Structure 1
């Protein structure tokens, strides 16, 4: 950790979805190292327990973000444990099937939309009131360049991430002037456990689209997320931040 970031999140309290691995876990580690407190949300309690111990989180809570009742209960519990919530990082997501639209399984479509888009809505819906009560908040929703450009054979994923971008723009405008910023990350593919959900052909295609000729790193994305989650992000809301190696320039 660079000395200039020491104490950047002192006194701040964060909820991170998808926090048991990958980007969510990396962001949690940075926030804790820089003075904040974190509650992790993910599906697997055993994996959450390991991640929480590793990064120094207050606790890990197993839940399905596509279930609004589970999200509501977990949000209330996090607010009680942390004494408030200042930061939400919504990074939970799945890829779904890799297949053309006319062959796409309906169950897979619904599951991707439920987790990637509806889950972001449920989390923001439940946590925003705590931020408004405190007069401060930073929301970072993890989208994708697929939401801007679309990836072939990934229609559900692309549509869900486009929805996250549009949702975040709307939310950011609603909250402007209330001390709460809402922005989203739009990364190109980066090496993370989500690759386990893709065939090698899709991974190769994603790499071919990145002008820098390499995948992003989790830490590169965590660095951008932590800026958006910090007080330094004070005059930008309803925006997208690319970490795409030159793939998207808008």
Structure 2
């Protein structure tokens, strides 16, 4: 609610030429000042935005810019997976036209975006998690669900409840994941140097039919998500191969 009128509010807005990738919002009240940041996921992930803001605030505090550790211009942590990029490729709109057209065509086919703001109280999610954990314990299962698995399962169940009963259409869900802390980089280490660009990927959950979201209990859906996430984090070789 503190964003200015110049900050894009939709996908169309971010596609307008010369639109800044980072927007800073400052709201001054009598007792405090609130500073907000909006950045494009295309350029930054959360960790990248954090790295940028830490360096920026240190600079504003008067520190010497040379003393602030930054990202090297030639840092390329993902080259070890695919090799160096071909710098001889033709750059410009022409070379990227197919990639740009795909999201635009999808947007045109789906029609205009409809913005919805949904607030889910944390206490509500914690109570759902508590009930699910109690049910798992009664079933004799030692597994668990995370507080982040519950809202995803709840939202999917709500979203597909309006579809036709018995719908067998497979739904492929991808959950965002941050690759930064994973030991998949050279030397089987994490990404230890500053890097502000996107290091996120997705965890593919096993596809489920629409009818499963309608009939399966919330706890079982959340447990499916937790199992997929756990398996993903233990199979580092597959992650490296996919990159």
TM-score, normalising length: structure 2? 0.23
| Highest RCO, 1 vs 2 (Cα 8 Å, sep ≥ 6) | 2
User: Which has the greater radius of gyration?
Assistant: 2
Bigger fraction of residues in helix: 1
TM-score, normalising length: structure 1? 0.22
